[in-house]
Amino acid sequence: MQDRWKQATQLVHAGHEKDPSGALVSPLYQSATFTFTSAEQGGRRFAGDEPGYIYTRLGNPTTSELERKVAVLEGAQAAAATASGMAAVSTALLSYLSQGDHLVASNAVYGCTYSFMTEHLPRYGVKVSLVDCKDIAAVSAAITPQTKVLFFETPVNPHLDVFDIAALTALAREHGVATVVDNTFMTPLLQQPLKLGADMVIHSATKYLNGHGDVIAGMVCGSQEMIDKAKYEVLKDFGGVLSPRDAWLILRGMKTLDVRLSRHCSSAGQIAEYLDNHPLVDKVYYPGLKTHKGHALLGKQMKQAGGVIAFELKQDLAGSIAFVNRLKLWTIAVSLGDAESLIQHPASMTHSPYSPEERQAAGITDNLLRLSVGLEDCEDLIADLAQAF
């Protein structure tokens, strides 16, 4: 029945089980371990012959509620909560990849995702090819008999390129390749990659899902079989599980995701238009603008354009940095999806793991600035940009 609820209802109620005390809000199970009534029962739990909790690295009631909620929202059979978005990236990829396998990935991704794929996976004997996923022919050409996974974010952090999920998953499927999509920028409310053929979806729950800037967390969503593998083969031993306290905070944050996203999207739309019409702005990257290359996929694969905007000023690097420093209401910080509006400089911050040449290949220019539009009044946000110009 939860599958049939509208997503605003799922955000509030999905995954919740009535507490015997009558507590409206689920209690926080802040316990590292769970007791057995007998040694035999402990043995049965470890053998998988009896359901029940054992030890929080293997599962916890608060974390399970979050996993059930996110799975329902993504239309997944199951989900696993992780200690960070990076733990979600690494858990997802390590669930599929072994020595000798090949990964095809977008050449433009969050900076630490990039360094995980280009520095760490090769150390374990996984070959990686990076491509521009707007170019379906290039993706097709990169696939080899050893390719196991196609990985991309859409829209891309930081320049908001949009990739055609259905076209890419269809191509991958033809070659027996699994597709893993990072849905952080959209959340399941604006985009559901599994319904477009993806095999696994990951999130940095640090961002919109939690929405309050006080937790680092991640989610991995997919089939029961793959999530069991992620949980009981990768997370169990690599150890990047989410703390129940942080799961509880995300459960609280998610209840308001629908109302928060409406404000993020409507303000971002107005700010993108403002910047696009400003004489001192060179380029604006926001899928909500008709001039954006990914605009055709708005309404098709993404319901709205989200709350992140990238732009370039008609200024050199020093002039762009001086503009950032003149802002008073916008806060200079990385991360996104919080109540506070944030601005950052990808080349020197989130995407500094790229070399200058790699950034150029990925279309991340040196004077690109990225905004995460928060929940403040939009007129105040525009007024602050205006005084900084």
Catalytic residues: 57, 110, 182, 207
Interaction residues for ligand LCS, span 137-156 (CB under 6 A): 153
Q: Does 341 bind ligand LCS (CB under 6 A)?
A: no
Report phi then psi at 115, rounded to 5.
Answer: -70, -30
**Shortest gap between Cβ of 1 and ligand LCS (angstroms)?**
32
Alpha carbon distance 133, 253 (integer Å): 32
Residue of 196, 247, 336, 362 interacting with ligand LCS (CB under 6 A): 336
- Per DSSP, the three-state class of 226 is helix
What does the DSSP 8-state code read for residue 308? E
**Shortest gap between Cβ of 184 and ligand LCS (angstroms)?**
4
Residue of 182, 246, 312, 338 interacting with ligand LCS (CB under 6 A): 182
Please give the structure tokens belonging to residue 25.
């809000």
Is residue 369 within 8 A of residue 343, CB to CB? The reply is: yes
Q: Which residue is nearest to ligand LCS (CB)?
A: 85
Is residue 304 within 8 A of residue 186, CB to CB? The reply is: no
**Shortest gap between Cβ of 3 and ligand LCS (angstroms)?**
26
Residue of 15, 65, 74, 110 interacting with ligand LCS (CB under 6 A): 110
Q: Does 307 bind ligand LCS (CB under 6 A)?
A: no
Angle at 228 between CA 223 and CA 234, to 5 degrees: 120
By C-beta, is 69 or 345 nearer to ligand LCS?
Answer: 345
Residue of 66, 79, 81, 86 interacting with ligand LCS (CB under 6 A): 86
Alpha carbon distance 26, 42 (integer Å): 26
Residue of 26, 63, 184, 301 interacting with ligand LCS (CB under 6 A): 184
Q: Where are the alpha helices (DSSP H) in the chain?
A: 7-13, 39-47, 61-74, 85-96, 111-115, 136-142, 165-174, 187-190, 224-229, 236-238, 244-254, 257-276, 317-326, 356-361, 378-388
Alpha carbon distance 69, 187 (integer Å): 13
Q: Does 168 bind ligand LCS (CB under 6 A)?
A: no
Interaction residues for ligand LCS, span 348-367 (CB under 6 A): 350
Residue of 321, 334, 361, 382 interacting with ligand LCS (CB under 6 A): 334
Exposed e or buried b for every residue in 303-328, given b needs 16+ CB within 10 A? Answer: bbbbbbbbbbbebeeeebeebeeebe
**Shortest gap between Cβ of 157 and ligand LCS (angstroms)?**
4
By C-beta, is 45 or 91 nearer to ligand LCS?
Answer: 91
- Per DSSP, the three-state class of 233 is helix
Alpha carbon distance 102, 151 (integer Å): 11
Q: Does 187 bind ligand LCS (CB under 6 A)?
A: no
Please give the structure tokens belonging to residue 175.
């070659």
Which region, judged by CB under 6 A, interacts with ligand LCS, from 28-36, 49-57, 79-87, 132-140? 79-87
Residue of 157, 187, 365, 367 interacting with ligand LCS (CB under 6 A): 157
Q: Which residues contact 156 (CB under 8 A, 6 or more apart)?
A: 106, 108, 109, 162, 163
Q: Does 204 bind ligand LCS (CB under 6 A)?
A: yes
**Shortest gap between Cβ of 383 and ligand LCS (angstroms)?**
25
Q: Does 84 bind ligand LCS (CB under 6 A)?
A: yes
**Shortest gap between Cβ of 123 and ligand LCS (angstroms)?**
20
Residue of 90, 95, 192, 206 interacting with ligand LCS (CB under 6 A): 206
Q: Does 210 bind ligand LCS (CB under 6 A)?
A: no
**Shortest gap between Cβ of 90 and ligand LCS (angstroms)?**
10
By C-beta, is 73 or 86 nearer to ligand LCS?
Answer: 86
Q: Does 113 bind ligand LCS (CB under 6 A)?
A: yes
Alpha carbon distance 78, 225 (integer Å): 9
Residues present in the chain in total: 389
Size of the site for ligand LCS (CB under 6 A): 18
Nearest to 272 by CA among 304, 249, 300: 304
Q: Does 218 bind ligand LCS (CB under 6 A)?
A: yes
The residue ranges that bind ligand LCS (CB under 6 A) are: 84-86, 89, 110, 113, 153, 157, 182, 184, 204, 206, 216, 218, 334-336, 350
